[in-house]
C-alpha cells in the first residue's frame, strides 16, 4: 500500500467514524469529505437541532490543525473574525492585524448562521472564500484554509448575500432524521456521551493538502464530453451555471475519484452535480438530470453516493401519508403510536417541501395538511 492509499484510508476512516456518531447524516458527511479533498466550500442548509454544527465540530476535532468557528450576527465586526489591530505597531503608524487564533490562521473554518453576515465583513469574506486571501488595508495574507463550511436555516434573500452564497460551490440539506431511525440516533448520541474509548481516527492538515494537490493529477478525459453535455442540459433547463463554477466543479469530480482510490474519473463521479442547486425547487430537477446521465454507468469503484437518491418521491410520500391517516383513525392505536405518527408526519411534511414539481407538491401536501388538522383537532 503506497503513501497516497494510506492517506486516503485515513480520510475514509474519519468519515466512517463520523457516520457512526451522526446517524442519518451520511450525505452531509460524504460531501464534507469531497469538499476537503477538492478544497472547496460547503453550505449546509437546515433548521436548528439537525446536527449541522455538531457534525462540523466533530470533524474539526479529527483534523490535526487550527480550527476557527464563529456564530455570525447582524452586528458581527471584522475584528471578531480577523483579529484586532496590533496596538504596538499602531503606535508606530502601521495598520497590522493581530491574527493569532483568528480566522486567517485556521486550516478549518466554520461560519454558523452564515447569512447573517453584514456589509462590514462581506467583502473580506468574499476574498477569503474565493481566493483564500485576507486583505485589510495594505495587508495581504495568503490563508492556510483547507475548506470553509457555512451553515444557515434559510437561503439568501438579497443580492449581496447571494454573492456570498455563490462562493459555496456545494450545497446540502440537513434535516431531522427519519423518525424510524430515532432509536438509533439516541443510542449513538448516548454512546458518544459515555465514550471512554481509545483515540478516534484522525488526519493532519498536511495530509489533506497532499490529497488536494493530487486532484490536479486525476484524469478527467473519460468524462469530459459527458460533463459538457450535462452542463449544457442544466443551462437549457434554466439553471445558472457560470463558466467559473463549471471549471471549479472539475475539482469536485476529481475528488470523488480520488476518495475512491482512482486516478481517473468515471461517469458516476458526476453525482456531485446534484449538489449545486440555488433554490429548494431546483433540487429535484437537478437530481433527475444528473441521475439520468449516470444511471447507465456500471463501472467498478463508484463513490457510495453516486447511485443514492435523496430527492423526495411524491408518490411514496403520498402513500405513506395515507397509511398514517388510516393508522391514526384506528381505534386501538396507542398514545405512544400516535406520537410516532406525528413525528413521522412532520418528517414527511419537511420532505414534501423539497418536491420540485408544484403540481405534485400540492397533491402530496393536501393529505398531509388534512391529517395535521385532524391531529390538532383531537389534541
Domain boundaries, the chain: 22-194, 218-294, 314-378
pLDDT for residue 42:
97
Report residue 29 as a C-alpha cell: 458527511
Longest dimension (CA), the chain: 81
Q: What DSSP character marks residue 80? A: H
Which 3 state secondary structure label does DSSP give 33? helix
Upper half-sphere CA count for residue 263 (Cβ side, 13 Å): 5
The count of other CB atoms within 10 Å of the CB of residue 142 is 10
pLDDT for residue 217:
94
Output the tens digit of pLDDT for each of the chain's 379 residues.
Answer: 576 788 899 999 999 899 888 888 889 999 999 999 999 999 999 888 888 888 999 999 999 889 999 999 999 999 999 988 776 666 565 677 888 899 999 999 999 999 999 988 998 899 999 999 988 777 888 999 999 999 999 999 888 898 899 999 999 998 876 666 666 666 666 666 666 556 789 999 999 999 999 999 999 999 999 999 999 999 988 888 999 999 999 999 999 999 998 999 999 999 999 999 998 878 878 888 898 889 888 888 888 888 776 556 788 888 899 999 999 988 888 888 888 888 888 878 877 765 756 788 888 899 999 999 888 887 6
Query: Using an 8 Å Cβ cutoff, are 37 and 269 in contact?
Result: no
Report residue 20 as a C-alpha cell: 457512526
pLDDT for residue 249:
96
> Could you give the residue ranges of the DSSP H alpha helices within 22-94?
26-38, 52-62, 78-82, 87-90
Query: Using an 8 Å Cβ cutoff, are 103 and 132 in contact?
Result: no
pLDDT for residue 177:
67
DSSP string of 88-115, one letter each residue: HHHTTT---B--TTSGGG-SEEEEETGG
- Strand locations in the chain, DSSP E? 42-45, 63-64, 67-71, 108-112, 133-136, 139-142, 147-152, 170-173, 203-204
Instruction: Determine the Cα–Cα distance for residues 319 and 167; give it in Å rounded to an integer.
Output: 39
Distances (CA, A) of 24 to 43, 55, 277, 351: 18, 11, 21, 14
Query: Using an 8 Å Cβ cutoff, are 78 and 102 in contact?
Result: no
pLDDT for residue 339:
86
Q: What DSSP character marks residue 294? A: H
Report residue 150 as a C-alpha cell: 457555512
Query: Using an 8 Å Cβ cutoff, are 170 and 43 in contact?
Result: yes
Of 163, 217, 165, nearest in space to 44 by CA: 165
Q: What DSSP character marks residue 300? A: S
The count of other CB atoms within 10 Å of the CB of residue 48 is 8
pLDDT in tens, 338-373: 888 888 888 788 777 657 567 888 888 999 999 998
DSSP string of 315-342, one letter each residue: HHHHHHHHHHHHHHH-TT--HHHHHHHH
pLDDT for residue 348:
83
Of 338, 347, 323, 334, nearest in space to 375 by CA: 338
Instruction: Determine the Cα–Cα distance for residues 252 and 273; give it in Å rounded to an integer.
Output: 9
Report residue 314 as a C-alpha cell: 411524491
Q: What DSSP character marks residue 201? A: P
pLDDT for residue 20:
85
pLDDT in tens, 167-225: 999 999 988 766 666 666 666 666 666 665 567 899 999 999 999 999 999 999 999 99
The CATH T-level fold of domain 22-194 is Rossmann fold (3.40.50)
Upper half-sphere CA count for residue 61 (Cβ side, 13 Å): 11
What is the pairing mode between strands 203-204 and 63-64? parallel
pLDDT for residue 23:
81
**Sign of the alpha-carbon torsion through 313, 316, 319, 320:** negative
pLDDT for residue 198:
64
pLDDT for residue 136:
79
Amino acid at each position: 500500500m503506497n503513501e497516497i492509499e494510506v492517506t486516503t484510508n485515513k480520510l475514509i476512516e474519519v468519515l466512517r467514524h463520523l457516520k457512526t456518531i451522526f446517524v442519518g447524516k451520511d450525505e452531509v458527511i460524504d460531501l464534507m469529505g469531497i469538499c476537503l479533498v477538492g478544497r472547496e466550500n460547503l453550505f449546509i442548509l437546515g433548521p436548528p437541532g439537525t446536527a449541522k454544527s455538531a457534525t462540523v465540530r466533530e470533524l474539526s476535532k479529527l483534523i490535526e490543525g487550527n480550527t476557527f468557528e464563529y456564530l455570525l450576527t447582524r452586528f458581527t465586526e471584522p475584528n471578531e473574525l480577523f483579529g484586532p489591530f496590533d496596538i504596538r505597531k499602531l503606535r508606530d503608524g502601521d495598520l497590522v492585524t493581530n491574527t493569532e487564533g483568528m480566522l486567517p490562521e485556521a486550516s478549518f473554518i466554520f461560519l454558523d448562521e452564515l447569512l447573517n453576515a453584514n456589509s462590514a465583513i462581506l467583502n473580506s469574506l468574499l476574498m477569503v472564500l474565493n481566493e483564500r486571501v485576507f486583505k485589510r488595508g495594505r495587508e495581504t495574507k495568503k490563508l492556510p484554509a483547507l475548506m470553509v463550511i457555512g451553515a444557515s436555516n434559510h437561503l439568501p434573500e438579497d443580492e449581496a448575500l447571494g454573492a456570498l452564497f455563490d462562493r459555496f460551490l456545494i450545497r446540502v440539506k440537513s434535516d431531522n432524521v427519519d423518525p424510524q431511525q430515532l432509536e438509533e440516533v439516541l443510542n449513538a448520541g448516548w454512546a458518544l456521551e459515555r465514550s471512554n474509548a481509545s483515540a478516534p481516527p484522525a488526519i493532519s492538515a498536511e495530509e489533506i493538502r497532499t490529497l488536494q494537490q493530487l486532484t490536479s493529477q486525476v484524469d478527467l478525459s473519460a468524462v469530459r464530453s459527458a460533463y459538457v453535455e450535462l452542463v449544457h442540459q442544466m443551462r437549457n433547463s434554466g439553471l445558472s451555471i457560470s463558466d467559473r463554477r463549471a471549471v471549479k466543479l472539475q475539482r469536485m469530480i476529481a475528488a470523488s475519484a480520488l476518495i475512491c482510490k482512482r486516478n481517473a474519473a468515471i461517469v458516476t463521479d458526476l453525482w456531485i452535480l446534484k449538489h449545486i442547486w440555488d433554490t429548494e425547487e431546483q433540487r429535484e430537477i437537478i437530481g433527475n438530470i444528473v441521475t439520468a446521465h449516470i444511471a447507465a454507468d456500471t463501472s467498478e469503484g463508484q463513490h457510495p453516493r453516486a447511485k443514492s437518491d435523496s430527492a423526495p418521491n411524491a408518490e411514496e410520500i403520498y402513500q405513506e401519508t395515507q397509511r398514517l391517516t388510516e393508522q391514526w383513525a384506528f381505534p386501538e392505536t396507542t398514545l405512544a403510536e400516535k406520537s410516532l405518527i406525528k413525528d413521522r408526519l412532520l418528517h414527511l411534511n419537511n420532505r414534501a417541501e423539497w418536491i420540485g414539481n408544484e403540481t405534485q407538491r400540492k397533491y402530496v401536501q393536501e393529505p398531509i395538511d388534512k391529517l395535521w388538522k385532524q391531529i390538532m383537532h383531537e389534541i
